[in-house]
Amino acid sequence: MQTYSAPLRDMRFLLHEVLDSGQISTLPGFQEATPDVFDAILEEGAKFCENQLLPLNRIGDEEGCTFENGLVRTPSGFKSAYEAFVKNGWHSISTNPDYGGQGLPEVLSFVFEEMVCSTNLAFGVYPLLSRGAATTIEAHASEELKNTYLPHLGSGTWTGTMCLTESHCGTDLGLIRTKAEPNDDGTYKVSGTKIFITAGEHDLSDNIVHLVLAKLPDAPKGVKGISLFIVPKFLPGNDQKIGQRNNVTCGSIEKKMGIHGSATCVLHFDEAKAWLVGKPHKGLSMMFTMMNGARLGVGLQGLGLGEVAYQSAASYAKERRQGKSIGEKSKAEDSADPIIVHPDVRLMLLNAKALNEGARALAYKTAINIDIANKHGDPSARKDADEYVQLMTPVIKAFLTDNGSYAANLAVQVHGGHGYIREHGMEQFVRDARIAQIYEGTNGIQALDLVGRKLGVDMGRLLKHFFHPASKFIEANKDNDDLKDLVKPLSTSFNQLQQITLLIAQRGLSDPEEAGAAATDYLRAFGLVAVGHMWAEMAKTANDKIMNGYKGDKYYEEKIKTAEFYMKRVLPESAGLFLKIKSGKETLMAPSIESF
């Protein structure tokens, strides 16, 4: 069965001991965000997710959303759960207090989001998109539009979407055909059809605010001619209420492999009334505010599903009896041992555990840097933190979602035949996890972003925000007797990553296909090394605790053991990736198109 208990001990360890969440309370506006406040909020958030969202996960998968006469109904229990979600303030943790939010740190919202994704991913996409829409409007819209939409989006009484994709184009948004024509009153009328619109129609909120990419009549060709518009389902009325229905209709919902409780819609805009956000023809750059936030959120989806899959598999492995241990002798009266005694089962569980816990550390560090970038008093500190987030965004999205899908498949394998049938819920994790590798830019697109954009900024300027601290840590701890067995493999992989980064840069300057051929393997290797660095940091923190009065503390001891597994069993994957990258593009590009 689907088993989940929020890993609060691990979350507290990362926040308070490894990443020093206490620094957050020194930032302007966050004085009350102390570790005690963090803990209290997360404990209550865990109760909400475990008690209200997890029981709806299988229901949402079995029932799915229904579509009839243009209306979409979410699965049983979703609406009441969403009302409780909004009423209890879970939607507004980090939103702006000027618009009804609580104004707490982004990292706190990150941690809660992970719990939501573990317990009910399909439910979690509704508030995720709403927060992204609110962030985009706050960053780029006029004061009038902010005052009209942000109080509702901030509270969760209205929800938001991002409307990019059309049937003839996916990532290549320069090909969109949706048009926006000006009205005499300063508004616009938008016409066109968008597909794959998550939460485009549903019954959870009073209104749905669509952020739509469209082209004005005088638009330049390609991506330079895209503008961004707000197109609400219901037009804003008087006294902050909704008015008449806008000309936006849902034509259908997709029948999907997974996340059945999330409505994926085809939306038709028929001269729908719209408001321009920001300047004309600058829509794509503004939409990246929402897309980058969504990419980090999707990374958390991979982490959340990886955690619940691991917990479910570990619970099953402790109970399921099959075969006798090939090592330790068991009691004669026992006909079989729990399968967790078998090396292959342990290998699967430890792979999932080590990747989850390391990825969690990397994600939370990125979130803390978001708060520093937003709030720190020193402009140079804000800039450094923002550049770290830019660098890690494609890694968080792709590496964590690949790992989430991997962990879900491992959970099926641990369950054996029982994992393949629906009764235990493992196959749902596989189906749900698969979408995270695709949407908000496929993981191949993330790899191209890392290699083609992030590495190229000022000849690798962004890289220093990872390379410098990692190098400093390795140098400071290479002679530490307690850590040298962990630092040595990290140092080897880190040095290889630096060398391969230089090789890609050199080859890519003369032949962009070389960079493209290396991109996916490079992102995977980068993620492995970045998580390896986090594991070394965690092991050092745990070892320091043991040396300073916590000897015998099982949590710290097990943390070091998992770090050892990661360094010796997971990180070595990077060596094979480096070899593949060195082989160049030829084996990919040499076969003729006709050979496929």
Model pLDDT for residues 244-259, shown as the tens digit of each residue:
999 999 999 999 999 9
Is the residue at 119 inside a domain? no
Look at residue 129 and tell me if it is in a domain.
no
Per the structure, how many domains does the chain have?
1
What mean pLDDT do residues 144-162 have?
95
- 86 domain residue, yes or no: no
CA distance 68 to 59: 20
Q: Are strands 158-163 and 71-73 parallel, antiparallel or unpaired?
A: unpaired
What letter represents residue 592's amino acid? S
Percentage of the chain surpassing pLDDT 90? 90
Q: Could you give the residue numbers annotated as active site?
A: 440
Assigned domain for 570 exists: yes
Q: Does the residue 274 lie in any domain?
A: no
d(CA 140, CA 154): 16
State pLDDT tens for residues 549-569. 888 899 999 999 999 999 999
- Residue range of the domain that includes 579: 447-586
pLDDT above 70 for 99 = yes
Instruction: Tell me the whole-structure pTM to 2 decimals.
Output: 0.96
334 domain residue, yes or no:
no
Is residue 502, in this structure, part of any structural domain at all? yes
Task: Yes or no: say if 25 and 395 are a contact pair by the CB < 8 Å rule.
Answer: no
Crossing angle, helix 283-319 and helix 379-415, to 10 degrees? 40
d(CA 150, CA 135): 9
pLDDT at 223 over 70: yes
Residue 211's SS3 state is: strand
Let me know if residue 307 belongs to a domain. no
The closest of 566, 574, 577 to 347, measured between CA atoms, is 566
Instruction: Place 169 in a pLDDT band, splitting at 50, 70 and 90.
Output: confident
